[in-house]
Amino acid sequence: MPLYMIQFHQEDIELPKLDKKKISLWVEEVAASYGKKTGQINYIFCSEEKILEVNKQYLNHDYFTDIISFDYSSAQNISGDLFISPFTVASNAELLKQPFQRELHRVIIHGILHLCGFEDKTSDQQTIMRKEENKALELIDITEEERSS
């Protein structure tokens, strides 16, 4: 049985319902599609208050967000700490009229895309990021369909 370097943690909230093995394999598959290998990746699920605190302390941003990525990657190995607020993900899912699980998967892979080198500061970069998220989401959607058939 492989030892996954992808770990799921919670801080001050309950961990959302996740198929950790499936998500880990998916993350590895997406990273590999960009010629990257996964090193130590920590998903830290936390409250809105905690993510705001992290955003202020480390990025000098005074606003809520769904994910903050800390990139420790080197060469072809991606590593990082990815803070995710499931509460903000749920709010966004409602606004976008998407199921929570799909929006959570989008955010999970969004962090990986940052570690793979994608940015989202400009509108052009955001367009590319969204395209790459959708491409990655198709992979996990196909996997879900295969398992249910």
| 3-state DSSP assignment of residue 31 | helix
CA separation for the pair 62, 54 (Å, rounded): 10
- Which range of residues forms the domain containing residue 81? 6-148
CA 131 to chain CA centroid, Å, is: 15
Q: Would residue 98 count as lying in a domain?
A: yes
- The answer to whether residue 62 sits within a structural domain is yes
- 80, 111 in Cβ contact below 8 A? yes
Rounded to 5 degrees, what are φ and ψ at 132? -70, -40
68: in domain? yes
Number of structural domains the chain divides into: 1
Any bridge partners for residue 43, and if so which? 8, 82
- Backbone dihedral angles phi then psi of residue 121, each to the nearest 5 degrees: -80, -35
Residue 131 located in a structural domain: yes
Evaluate whether residue 1 is within a structural domain.
Answer: no
pLDDT digit string (tens) for 75-89?
Answer: 899 999 999 999 999
The one-digit pLDDT tens for each residue of the chain (149 residues) are: 345 599 999 999 999 999 999 999 999 999 999 999 999 999 999 999 999 999 999 999 999 999 999 999 998 999 999 999 999 999 999 999 999 999 999 999 999 999 999 999 999 999 999 999 999 999 996 555 444 43
Cross-strand pairs, 88? none
Residue 26 buriedness (CB in 10 A; 0-12 / 13-18 / 19+): buried
Find the CATH number of the domain harbouring 11: 3.40.390.30
- Global confidence as pTM: 0.91
